[in-house]
Amino acid sequence: MIRLGPTARHALAATAVLAGALALTACADGDSGTVAPATPEPGASAPISGSQVTSAPSQNAEPTCDTILPSDTVEDFVDAGWAARQDPFYVGNIELSDGIQCTWGDPKVASDQVQVYGWAPLSAQQSDEITTELIDSGWEKIDGDGVVYLTAPEEMIMSRDEDGYGMTYRLSDHDIAVSDTKQGLLLVEWPPS
């Protein structure tokens, strides 16, 4: 039996919750035959639709699921019928209250085929706490290009990039980003330049 630390359990639970939420949205309304919309949990925003995709954010804008990613990526997701679920940014038991975590997927299909992206501001103390918690849970630390990457151990990887990395956090001096793959971190662009 594989023992999972709190961070692994949180990541797996988040995926299970999303799969459940996506399954709920796939339930048809008995009278009209239309797909019933998902009800966001408290603190979560409603899924993003194509009409909600915004243009380039201003310097003072708040991060959202459609602004932390390049607009063409968001448009591709929306064109594919995907929507985003916005949740608080957690690393294990540590909540980064000014951050967001976005799970993109098809709300009409119950599936674990989703993509996760997130961003949060980060203090030096939070960075130390996160690094300690993840390393103690078996995550691998990779230094590179003035940032630190913390990537999931083999037994926790649910989807892989072409280099074999799964869920990965990127920690810089002032912020943290997350994606379901290390390569996916290239898409997280916040704050706007």
pLDDT value at 101 more than 60: yes
Is residue 36 domain-resident?
A: no
Let me know: does 111 contact 104? Beta carbons within 8 Å: no
DSSP 42-78: TTPBPPP-GGG---PPPTTPPP-TTTSS-HHHHHHHH
Is residue 117 domain-resident?
A: yes
Confidence of residue 98 (pLDDT cuts 50, 70, 90): very high
Is residue 127 domain-resident?
A: yes
Give 154-169 pLDDT, tens digit per residue: 888 888 888 889 999 9
Number of domains in the chain: 1
Is residue 45 domain-resident?
A: no
Give 123-156 pLDDT, tens digit per residue: 999 999 999 999 999 999 999 888 999 999 988 8
Boundaries of domain holding 80:
6-28+61-187
Is residue 44 domain-resident?
A: no
Is residue 33 domain-resident?
A: no
Average pLDDT along the chain: 76
Is residue 193 domain-resident?
A: no
**Taking residues 108-115, what's their average pLDDT?**
86
Task: Tell me the sheet residues that pair with 170.
Answer: 149, 177
Is residue 46 domain-resident?
A: no
CA terminus-to-terminus distance, the chain: 46
Which of residues 64 and 11 earns the better pLDDT score?
A: 64
Q: Which of 26, 31, 188 is nearest to 115 (CA)?
A: 188
